[in-house]
Chains A and B, each alone.
Chain A
Amino acid sequence: MDDFLKEQIKKRLKRTPNDFEYELFGAMWSEHCGYLHSKKQLDKLNQNGAIFAQENAGGVKIGDWGVFFKSESHNHPCAVEPYQGAATGMGGIIRDVLALNARPVALLNSLKFSPSGSKKSLHIINGVVSGISDYGNSCGIANVAGEVLFDECYENSPLVNVMAVGIAPLNKVKLSAAEEGLKIVVLGSNTGLDGVGGAEFASKNLAKNASKDKIHVQIGDPFLKKVLIEATLEILEHKGVVACQDCGAAGLLSSTSEMAYKGKCSVELDLSKLHLAQENIQPWQIMLSETQERMVFALEDGMLDTFFKIAEKYELSASCIGHTKSGGDYIIKWGDELLANLPLNVLCEPYYYDLEPVFEPSYISEYKNKVFSGSCDVSEAVYKLVCSPEFASKKWFYEQWDYSVGARTYFEPSKIGAQAVNFYENNCFLGMCMDSKPRKCFLDPYFGCISTFMESFRNLVSSGFKPLGVTDCLNFANPKSDEVKFQFVKSIEGLAEVSKKTKIPVVSGNVSFYNETKETRVYPTVTLGMVGVCPNEEDLISLEFSLGDEIVLIGKQIDKNSPVGGSLYQKVLFDFLGSEVDKVDIDFELKLAQVVGLLKKQGLIEGAKDVSTGGVLGALLISLFASNLGFIGSLLPLDKLSDSDKLKYLFGEIEGRYLISTKDKNKLFKILEENNIPYLHLGKCFGDKIKFDGYEFDLIELKKIYENSLGEMIEDV
């Protein structure tokens, strides 16, 4: 901890803390736990319409049920120990949802890696993917959707963002605030030395030789997690349980202190009562241990017997380590020895930095003014794009993750914009997706963030859902730098604006700073997870087209002058990043979404796909591959175009577009015209060749490249 923060602590305590107390502050006042640089900005976000947004995970209401979701990053651990880092990232996010007495029903992830193919990057990819596989599959929570992006900026700092979605009847939700006169009990793993100091480790730049940081990485046990989930849900059924917290970052310390602080009471713990994994563990290490698979409860006295009986039934260790009482203090003892006595309003309310005012860094206009002039043959571009890691099928990834356990998953992962999860308890389907656009956020943090939001929004709309809420996972570099401050503040402003205008609240979130090393710094990476609802199976929309369907592009139409900065084809084909990004027109997007809903109700949509990465041809190819169908038609205007312009029309990424397939194009056109929605009839699904404007591709051949290239890249080295 730096001297400035130490001074702040002394000033507010009006004394010098002892060494043990300093350790507690080191964790609670870390960026990871305390949100020191982000709190004041996060307060700008729109939470109107969210429920329990102040809890471990916030949610939205559907009928008498709450749907709770949150995203979290596990970037630093994955950089040094990818397998355990990814596994425990899943573990942590599951507990956040579980703590509310919500049964976790789906997991999603957003992963960012380097495409370099270096030994290091492949080690990270393999480790993260098998960590998610071994942990998530064993827990029995389906891994239903997500995204994998590739950019060189993630070579040393991979980003691993995970999201969990849980469901609970609203009258059964448990909160995290304790009250006076309760017992504090811990359930689950024996506390050991794993992950000690993890929160602080995640609050600084990664060192060049990070292997010594492995001590800070937690170790997951998916079997124990599965048992812990069932035991926790059984315990939370009882009225005598007042509060529940998961043991995540800064373990026992953050869970017990927050419980008491939120409940406006004191808590007193005797660490000698806790079940431990080893002798020779110091009290400060017990407090800061991030041993996985532990939950903390505040119970009424009368509930203790039942609690221990349930623990025994599930063969889990448990101990009663303290109690709450009136006051506002955090009191830690070892037997009779007093180790710490701190006011909770100092421990739990760190010093919050102001990031503002911010100034536009010079790179913004420098990149904006870059002129793109890349040009190549369209056929060559198609082949290159289809096998590029970011565009190619993520089959190699998702086939290693159990996406169908629970029998709630509606679509195969290759066939979704947003996944549909059967919420049969409430007679509806939940829609969910995770998206990010780091290159666009780098070029224009404000509109890049809005663009990210809209991609999630369109993914849900194109799958038949009404978007209800969003969770944000903000991955940035060092917040002390002026450039990062600007990126962060502008991203938050963008998110706040679009969330307000669309009335889709931010229900929960997570911030990860310091994703940089001496050599590389990540793009400002705003990952959003959005959840929506669809009442009937009949209203769900797949991105599959059927034979004979007419394909129509609806929404904003691209032209020679459209801004397409941040488009994937520029990066993949010409290693170019720059020029202006297209700006979202939120009102138009809302109107467009309404019309998509109307068309579906009228039976005029067979399949639909939002148009994003890879532009209109990218969207068309993904749908054709999923449908095993060819296409014949035209994607380019009739005028004579340069190769560069053709690429822009085919692959350029602008906002506000959907690709839909229909059996009755005339009726469709009529409704679009009545609603002033621009459209373009592209062609028809037919045969096994993809033909447009004089170009021809073999469906089977191209699909094979699309499906296999990523696995080959990862496994062949």
Chain B
Amino acid sequence: MKAAVVVFLGTNCNVETKRALEDFGFEVDYVDFRENSLQKYDLVVLPGGFSYGDYISSGRIAKFTPVIDALAEFINSQRGFVLGICNGFQILCEARFLKGALIKNDSSKFVCKNTPLLLEFGGNSKKIYLPVAHKEGKYIPARDSCEDVFLRYLDNPNGSYNDIAGIYNPKARIMGLMPHPERAYFKSSFGLSGREIFKIVKDEIKRG
């Protein structure tokens, strides 16, 4: 399976995201923000970081780059699966691929910690730990409707509505989450729960 890791200026989690995906069996390319087609990939990942410094607000500038038009085509043509992690999730919301918005944490401070979460997917429910690292991670749902929630904080670090940490639109096959699965993937005391997220992604791609 082929995966694209999109790199904007200011993206900074691309290396570890690529490493994790490769370890999980994907064939991975970095894709520049100037790229105008993503059709050869089964999975497109928008990794974490500070695209364009998150100036104005997070994801606000990244959504105007050519690769976002390519992503729209990728989604409209039902070509494959889209995963946004942290800044990637913020970009997906900014670009309206996912509903809702991510705003400044209640503490108005950046928060970095390994945090307990409830993963609920495909009828299974499980407590896992993943690191969060963000300043604008408080999720606010759109007024009309909410996407499916698959990941909730058990110790809400940012004031997110209903403890929402990750959402999924199964129809469009777009997933976004604030915690970093790629940081709980390799040898570390943070655990290996990140693999559970990548497994869901892989299973969903296979399911087609």
Contacts and interface: CB of A to CB of B under 8 A. Distances in A.
Given A138-B54, A412-B190, A400 B49 contact: no
Contacts of A404: 112, 114, 131, 133, 180, 183, 190
A137 B137 CA distance: 15
Contact of A138 (B16, B53, B188): B53
B185 A222 contact: no
A314 B113 CA distance: 32
Contact of B49 (A140, A315, A415): A140
A398 B109 CA distance: 12
Contacts of B12: 138-140, 226, 405
A400 B111 contact: yes
Given A412-B114, A422-B187, A424-B186, 19 more contacts: A137-B110, A138-B12, A140-B50, A221-B53, A222-B50, A227-B10, A400-B111, A401-B110, A402-B110, A402-B133, A403-B112, A404-B180, A405-B48, A405-B183, A407-B185, A410-B188, A410-B189, A412-B189, A537-B187
Interface in B30-83: 48-50, 52-55
Contacts of A424: 186
Which of B52, B55, B183 counts the most A-chain CB atoms under 10 A from its CB? B183
A133 interface: yes
Interface residues of B, number: 33
Given A226-B10, A412-B114, A137 B133 contact: yes
Interface in A366-415: 398-412, 415
A411 B189 contact: yes
Interface string A411-449: 110010000001010000000000000000000000000
Contacts of B53: 138, 221-224
Contacts of B146: none
A398 B131 CA distance: 14
Contact of A398 (B16, B19, B112): B112
A193 B151 CA distance: 48
Interface residues of A, number: 35
Interface in A203-238: 221-224, 226-227
Contact of A401 (B10, B112, B131): B112
Contact of A407 (B110, B112, B182): B182
B188 A407 contact: yes
Nearest to B49: A140
A632 to B, nearest CB: 26
29 contacts: A133-B109, A134-B110, A137-B50, A137-B133, A138-B12, A138-B50, A223-B10, A223-B50, A226-B10, A227-B9, A399-B113, A400-B110, A400-B112, A402-B112, A402-B133, A403-B112, A404-B133, A405-B12, A407-B16, A407-B180, A409-B188, A409-B190, A410-B187, A411-B189, A412-B113, A412-B189, A412-B190, A415-B189, A542-B189
Which of A138, A402, A409 counts the most B-chain CB atoms under 10 A from its CB? A402
Contact of B13 (A134, A405, A537): A405
A405 B133 contact: yes
A634 B15 CA distance: 49
Interface in B114-159: 114, 131, 133, 135
A415 B190 CA distance: 11
B20 interface: yes
Which of B48, B52, B187 counts the most A-chain CB atoms under 10 A from its CB? B187
Contacts of B186: 407, 422, 424
A133 B185 contact: no
Which of A399, A403, A422 counts the most B-chain CB atoms under 10 A from its CB? A399
A420 B111 CA distance: 21
A408 to B, nearest CB: 8
6 nearest interchain CB pairs?
A140-B12, A223-B53, A407-B16, A138-B50, A404-B131, A402-B133
A715 B110 CA distance: 15
Interface in A301-332: 314-315
A134 B50 CA distance: 10
B138 to A, nearest CB: 16
A399 B109 CA distance: 9
Interface string B1-40: 0000000011011011001100000000000000000000
Contacts of A400: 109-112
A407 B10 contact: no
Which of B49, B131, B188 counts the most A-chain CB atoms under 10 A from its CB? B188
Interface of B: 9-10, 12-13, 15-16, 19-20, 48-50, 52-55, 109-114, 131, 133, 135, 180, 182-183, 185-190
A408 B135 CA distance: 21
Nearest to A424: B186
A224 B55 CA distance: 11
A138 B190 CA distance: 22
Contacts of B9: 223, 226-227, 314-315
A219 to B, nearest CB: 13
B110 A422 contact: no
Which of B48, B114, B131, B182 counts the most A-chain CB atoms under 10 A from its CB? B131
A409 B16 CA distance: 12
Nearest to A410: B188
Contact of B10 (A138, A402, A405, A422): A138
A588 B96 CA distance: 64
Contacts of A411: 188-189
Which of B16, B50, B52, B110 counts the most A-chain CB atoms under 10 A from its CB? B110
Contacts of B135: 137
A329 B13 CA distance: 45
Contacts of A542: 189
Nearest to A229: B12
A407 B86 CA distance: 14
Which of B12, B54, B113, B135 counts the most A-chain CB atoms under 10 A from its CB? B12
B50 A399 contact: no
A357 B186 CA distance: 55
Contact of B50 (A226, A410, A415): A226
Contacts of A221: 53
Interface in A170-221: 221
Contacts of B20: 407
Interface in A507-545: 537, 542
Contacts of A134: 110
Which of A405, A407, A415, A542 counts the most B-chain CB atoms under 10 A from its CB? A407
Contacts of B49: 140, 226
Contacts of A227: 9-10
Contacts of A406: 15-16
Nearest to B86: A405
Nearest to B15: A406
Which of B19, B50, B111, B182 counts the most A-chain CB atoms under 10 A from its CB? B50
Nearest to B19: A407
B25 to A, nearest CB: 18
A410 B182 CA distance: 13
Nearest to A409: B188
A429 to B, nearest CB: 9
Nearest to A130: B109
Contacts of B188: 407, 409-411, 422
Which of B13, B49, B180, B182 counts the most A-chain CB atoms under 10 A from its CB? B49
A398 to B, nearest CB: 7
Contacts of B131: 404
A476 to B, nearest CB: 33
A399 B111 contact: yes
A408 B183 CA distance: 8
B131 to A, nearest CB: 5
Contacts of A314: 9
A223 B187 contact: no
A421 to B, nearest CB: 10
Interface string A119-152: 0000000000010011001111000000000000
A411 B182 CA distance: 16
A405 B184 CA distance: 11
A65 to B, nearest CB: 17
A402 B183 CA distance: 12
A415 B188 CA distance: 12
